[in-house]
């Protein structure tokens, strides 16, 4: 496909409430959007990197630089026949997976529009609806934590994930379980524990959690496998899984029994599908994680979640949980049964509110195709 121009822009979007994890608190998102024009269409991508290199090494500033200096010129010159060719085009650049994903996913969006089919179908998705959970940040008090759980259950969400860390774990699980003995409940430590916390983590088994997400180091498989041996509760890996090979290693070593797939973390839709397939072939369920995305990243997460092995509720939630006003139309809504309907219209299935995007833009750059031929 012929790529005419690539635009980068940064938006600032305040969250409706602060989101606290074991690594920090986010009150406002800096959103890096990629817009790719070609063949008479516009594909959109979102870079999910954080404001700080706390979840991973990338930030939106490193992504901006690498897209501008390396990835976008390479893509513009490559004329890819299919979005699935992007990893090959980006191969020379090591790492920077969130930067790569922003571009690759915009190309998938563009290709789906060119072909006149839903993005979900182009990715190989078959589900008509996806099951939704929520990730609830660490709260200032236990009382507030319980109120948040109550609110999200009332909204219909099928699974509650509690962010945890040393000092904010068992007493919270206990309070939530006492009040709601039967809900699907999980926790996510974002690497907050160390090996000598193992005895403590084993006590989480008492609370019948669906999974314990990324308890140990963000780059570890071996010690997670030691921990998993001692636990009845499945470990789920998020940060540790960067690609298909990592998924294979983790499954083979029994470091986890569930995998969280995030497009950005693995470098784009191609690798996300490869991780999904590798897990499926080995009987390991996956679910789609979230990175506090705007509507564009959210639309992409919905499309990805329509693949068959996304059999557990994901962290893909309604726009209004994050934003006063989302940058897509319609906004993402979750039904009272806790599902999102996968759009059946061509492309991402949600219009980008370009006027609003323009208004919120604080920085922009255009990268022209280095036209050869
Ligand atoms: O670990 O899943 C995570 C948000 C930012 C960074 C990492 C994570 C998260 C979430 C929120 O849990 C998921 C969401 O609602 O987008
Ligand atoms: Mg996580």
Answer whether residue 125 shows pLDDT above 60: yes
Burial 181-210 (b: 16+ CB within 10 A, else e): eebbbbbbbbbbbeeebbeebeebeebebb
Cβ-contact 332, 299 below 8 angstroms: yes
Alpha helix segments (H runs only) across 231-312: 244-252, 263-266, 269-281, 295-305
Instruction: Return the pLDDT at 197.
Output: 97
Q: From CA 41, how far away is CA 116, in angstroms rounded?
A: 11
Q: CA dist 145 to 208, 314, 334, Å?
A: 19, 20, 21
Ligand 1 atom at minimum distance from 292 CA: 16
Average pLDDT over residues 264-289: 98
Length reported for the chain: 373
β-sheet with 184-188: strand ranges across: 133-136, 159-163, 184-188, 212-213, 235-237, 258-261, 286-288
Write down the H helix ranges in 79-232.
Answer: 86-90, 97-115, 119-123, 142-154, 170-179, 198-202, 222-230
Inform me whether the pLDDT recorded for 3 exceeds 90: yes
38 C-alpha to ligand 1 centroid (Å): 32
Q: Whose CA is nearest to atom 4 of ligand 1?
A: 291
Count other C-beta atoms under 10 Å from residue 175's C-beta.
Answer: 15
- pLDDT at 313 > cutoff 80: yes
Q: What is the pLDDT of residues 148-166, one digit of tens each?
A: 999 999 999 999 999 999 9
Residue 67 Cα to ligand 2 middle (Å): 25
**C-alpha R_g of the chain:** 20
Active site residue 229: no
pLDDT on residue 256:
98
Q: At what angle do helices 142-154 and 170-179 cross, to 10 degrees?
A: 40
Atom of ligand 1 nearest to the CA of 161: 12
Does the beta carbon of 190 lie inside 6 Å of ligand 1? yes
The closest-lying atom of ligand 1 relative to the alpha carbon of residue 214 is 1
**Sign, Cα dihedral of 182, 184, 190, 194:** positive
pLDDT digits (tens, 9 = 90+) for 42-67: 999 999 999 999 999 999 999 999 99
Instruction: Give the separation between CA 373 and CA 233, rounded to whole angstroms.
Output: 58
Which DSSP letter does residue 137 get?
P
- Break the chain into its structural domains and give their ranges: 5-116+353-371, 122-341
* Residue 238 in contact with ligand 1 by CB distance below 6 A: yes
Q: Which CATH number among 3.40.50.800, 3.20.20.120, 3.40.50.150, 3.10.310.30 corresponds to the domain 122-341?
A: 3.20.20.120
Residue nearest to atom 14 of ligand 1 (CA): 290
- Report the distance separating Cα 64 and Cα 81, nearest Å: 25
302-318 mean pLDDT: 98
Instruction: Please determine, for residue 122, whether its predicted confidence score (pLDDT) is greater than 60.
Output: yes
Q: Give, to the nearest 10 degrees, the angle between helix 97-115 and helix 269-281.
A: 90
148 neighbors 16 (Cβ within 8 angstroms): no
Under 8 Å between Cβ of 232 and 208: no
Evaluate: CB of 289 within 6 angstroms of ligand 1.
yes
Of the ligands numbered here, which is closest to the C-alpha atom of 259? 2
Task: Give the Å distance between the CA of 291 and the centre of ligand 1.
Answer: 5
Reported as a pLDDT band with limits 50, 70 and 90, residue 215 is very high
Name the closest ligand to CA 315.
1
Residue 262 designated active-site: yes
For the CA of 238, the nearest atom of ligand 1: 1
Residues 6+ apart with CB under 8 A from 313: 131, 132, 133, 157, 158, 159, 184, 287, 338
Pairing of strands 129-131, 24-38: unpaired
Beta carbon of 317 within 6 Å of any ligand 1 atom? yes
Nearest atom in ligand 1 to the alpha carbon of residue 26 is 5
pLDDT value of position 370:
57
Q: Ligand 2 centroid to 191 CA: how many Å?
A: 9
Choose the catalytic residue: 144, 262, 320, 324.
262
Confidence at 369, pLDDT banded by 50, 70, 90: low
Give me the catalytic one of 100, 161, 163, 165.
Answer: 163
Band (pLDDT 50/70/90 cuts) for residue 373 is very low
Q: What's the whole-number mean pLDDT along residues 173-195?
A: 98
Regarding the beta carbon of 55 and ligand 1, being less than 6 Å apart is answered yes
Look at residue 368 in the predicted model and tell me its pLDDT: 74
Instruction: Kindly identify the ligand whose nearest atom is closest to the C-alpha of 237.
Output: 2
Query: Does the CB atom of residue 135 touch ligand 1 within 6 A?
Result: yes
DSSP label of 336: T
What are 315-366's pLDDT values in tens digits? 999 999 999 999 999 999 999 999 999 999 999 999 999 999 999 999 999 9
The pLDDT of residue 372 is above 50: no
Please, which residues have CB within 8 angstroms of residue 141's CB and are 6 or more apart in sequence?
none
291 ligand 1 Cβ < 6 A: yes
191 C-alpha vs ligand 1 centroid, how far in Å? Answer: 13
In eight-state DSSP terms, residue 233 is S
Q: pLDDT tens across 227-237, in order?
A: 999 999 999 99
Taking the C-alpha atoms of residue 243 and residue 117, their distance in angstroms, rounded to an integer, is 27
The mean per-residue pLDDT over the stretch 75-102 comes to 96
Query: Looking at domain 5-116+353-371, what is its CATH homologous superfamily?
Result: Enolase-like, N-terminal domain (3.30.390.10)
């Amino acid at each position: 496909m012929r790529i005419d121009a690539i635009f980068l822009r940064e938006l600032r979007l305040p969250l409706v409430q602060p989101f606290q994890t074991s690594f920090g608190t986010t009150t406002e998102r800096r959103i890096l959007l990629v817009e790719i024009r070609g063949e008479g269409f516009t594909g959109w991508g979102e870079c999910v990197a954080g404001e700080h290199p706390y979840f991973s090494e990338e930030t939106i500033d490193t992504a901006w630089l690498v897209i501008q200096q390396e990835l976008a010129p390479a893509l513009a010159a490559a004329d890819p026949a299919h979005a699935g060719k992007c990893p090959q085009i980006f191969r020379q650049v090591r790492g920077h997976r969130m930067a790569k994903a922003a571009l690759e996913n915009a190309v998938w969006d563009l290709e789906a529009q060119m072909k006149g089919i839903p993005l979900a179908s182009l990715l190989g998705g078959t589900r008509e609806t996806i099951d939704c959970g929520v990730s609830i940040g660490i709260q200032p008090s236990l009382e507030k934590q319980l109120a948040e759980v109550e609110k999200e259950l009332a909204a219909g969400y099928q699974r509650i994930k509690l962010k945890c860390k040393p000092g904010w774990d068992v007493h919270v699980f206990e309070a939530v379980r006492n009040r709601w003995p039967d809900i699907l409940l999980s926790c996510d430590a974002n690497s907050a524990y160390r090996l000598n916390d193992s005895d403590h983590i084993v006590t989480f088994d008492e609370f019948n959690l669906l999974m314990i997400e990324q308890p140990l180091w963000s780059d570890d498989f071996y010690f997670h496998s030691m921990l998993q041996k001692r636990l009845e509760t499945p470990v789920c890996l998020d940060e540790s899984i960067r690609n298909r090979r990592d998924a294979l290693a983790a499954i083979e070593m029994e470091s986890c029994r569930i995998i969280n797939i995030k497009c950005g973390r693995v470098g784009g839709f191609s690798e996300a599908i490869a991780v999904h397939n590798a897990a499926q072939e080995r009987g390991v369920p996956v679910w789609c994680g979230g990175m506090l995305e705007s509507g564009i990243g959210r639309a992409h997460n919905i499309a990805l979640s329509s693949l068959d092995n996304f059999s557990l509720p994901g962290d893909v939630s309604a726009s209004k949980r994050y934003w006063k006003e989302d940058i897509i139309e319609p906004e993402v809504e979750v039904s009272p049964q806790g599902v999102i309907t996968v759009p059946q219209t061509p492309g991402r299935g949600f219009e980008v509110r370009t006027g609003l995007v323009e208004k919120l833009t604080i920085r922009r750059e255009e990268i022209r195709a280095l036209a050869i031929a």
